[in-house]
A and B are shown apart, each in its own frame.
Chain A
Amino acid sequence: AQSVTQLGSHVSVSEGALVLLRCNYSSSVPPYLFWYVQYPNQGLQLLLKYTTGATLVKGINGFEAEFKKSETSFHLTKPSAHMSDAAEYFCAVSDHTNAGKSTFGDGTTLTVKP
């Protein structure tokens, strides 16, 4: 069984400040990890993914995430927030033995203050 916990349902930062969105996962086999972004009334868009190899992965819009197996974490960061980053962010886990089915966290809403 897989699960995802996103710590903090709401995060607020000032424009230009560091963005840090936390994700911890549980998986009985090596996981695939994903971050998605969702804008109001839209579907989810893939930001970045970790499958194997380099543990620091870069995605679109300047976001990156680091896979830390010892901490079962996959936190999402961006050095400098932009107003357009305001959205809801979802962390997801899947494994190669489960037919690619992903389990999602409950999301973190990011607010960016001017």
Chain B
Amino acid sequence: DTGVSQDPRHKITKRGQNVTFRCDPISEHNRLYWYRQTLGQGPEFLTYFQNEAQLEKSRLLSDRFSAERPKGSFSTLEIQRTEQGDSAMYLCASSLVQGYYGYTFGSGTRLTVV
């Protein structure tokens, strides 16, 4: 198993454009999480899936953000009409259903909105 993969590693986009990120979790992991991390801060929860069902979404997540996990495998996070405040590292993590195993993180996608 190659761990959690995220693509792309870096994305520079102009304000107002749409972007989509992909995350491939560890295949045995039922749960998939998206977090956002800005400089000097810890990861901030955005949303999570158990298999293909999106079970929770942070109140911080505006309507411009949407995430999917079709067939319970890979996941995509889309940001529409990007704003400069969206610039951050977007982290994907996966875990087994039992939360006490902790997360396996991907390397993240760094988004810069210019």
Contacts and interface: CB of A to CB of B under 8 A. Distances in A.
A42 B42 contact: no
Interface string B73-114: 000000000000000000101010111111111111010000
B55 interface: yes
Interface string B1-29: 00010100000000000000000000000
A42 to B, nearest CB: 5
Interface of B: 4, 6, 31, 33, 35, 40-45, 48, 50, 55-56, 91, 93, 95, 97-108, 110
Most buried by A among B6, B40, B44, B100: B100
Contacts, number: 77
Contact of B42 (A32, A99, A105): A105
Contact of B103 (A9, A42, A102, A107): A102
Interface in A52-69: none
A36 B91 CA distance: 14
Given A101-B48, A104-B35, A104-B43, 8 more contacts: A42-B107, A42-B108, A96-B100, A100-B98, A101-B45, A102-B45, A105-B42, A106-B42
Interface in A1-55: 4, 9, 32, 34, 36, 41-46, 49, 51
A44 B3 CA distance: 12
Given A34-B102, A44-B105, A107 B42 contact: yes
Contacts of B108: 41-43
